[in-house]
Structure 1
């Protein structure tokens, strides 16, 4: 297994040293550098092309949120935000962070975040190798997905939630996730909105599988699905989602 290349960014030397120590006990990772502010982080990302950036949010001059929002490198590294403040969570989800860790960082949460970033990275790498996928099924109740040994017809009724991944989407079912090259706008035209509802520019969910609603403050929410996934709801979708769930 190729080591996941990690860049650490924090303006607090003690926080950097703690992360370095914790990463020393995680297999399959290599810390390739560090940065102490947003400008340095952008320079290191461009020079080192890390797979994962552990990014502090509160830094002088340029915050971690702005660094992530301004990233123009391709391939874009996975981002895991690290902060002492919970109220930044909505902003972190808006820039497609893989995870969000509170200080002091616990080892179990860090390892979980790294594995999630690794899984997302692997899915994106796999997407880059796919080309010429067949389009949606003519009956409009399924779509064809390319798999290792050919093509699979995936019924829309099996899709539990969807998240965007660059030019692709990840289609999550009860048993596995599939990657497919299609835009979120095109999916919105295919899906029955009574069964698969758009809740974010980067996400659809099946309302019947929402287990809990998390209140994030400032009127923002996230949805906890039956499979344990937490899907953020875009600000412009909150009112419609709450109404659909009978919580308005």
Structure 2
């Protein structure tokens, strides 16, 4: 039985990666993709996929918003894709709803699709809808009633060997770009993830007011900056409290200097 899969994510690189992985899986047909909530609802109605790989956080809403807009007889199997939200992971596990942590690996996606294939045959639509609504209710209650407390400010990062490492959002001092990856820098270690700086900032839920872009390849936490210096022949240099020296791009340097509350 061929499983028809729709992918939903607001990052083009993430959609492309999913498309390439799905092409390698037997008896799986990638029927289309959507880059936002509104488009996802329309594509699900139009294409009638068996399974949707559904991103949680998107620019125009969340994956839960997508599900809440679907008719009761039009809910496909859902595999959530999420980036390091421990609270969300606990909610999915409590209701036996599948999820995949980003960056997505082929073996993990294959296993999730196989489980969803079996689940589609075993669970009727009414039961599936009830389970999805239970997940949505739990997550919304947790986020809106308890604020940031449920997530405990934790990020769970999946390493290349598959192990999960927990760090705190507040420990991230810098994010740098390395080709198709980004590196998260803390005082004691660094962690390589697939994606762009913009996507990492959104996926990791890092407040924009706490970070400043100093180069197209570098995003810094404002509180980690110790000084900003002009260097002859080297432009503007940003020195972090741990001694790291980061060169600022010309356009970014002007914006950075204007944003500093200098006195005297």
- Normalised to the residue count of structure 2, the TM-score between the two structures is 0.46
- Normalised to the residue count of structure 1, the TM-score between the two structures is 0.48
- The structure with the larger Rg is 2
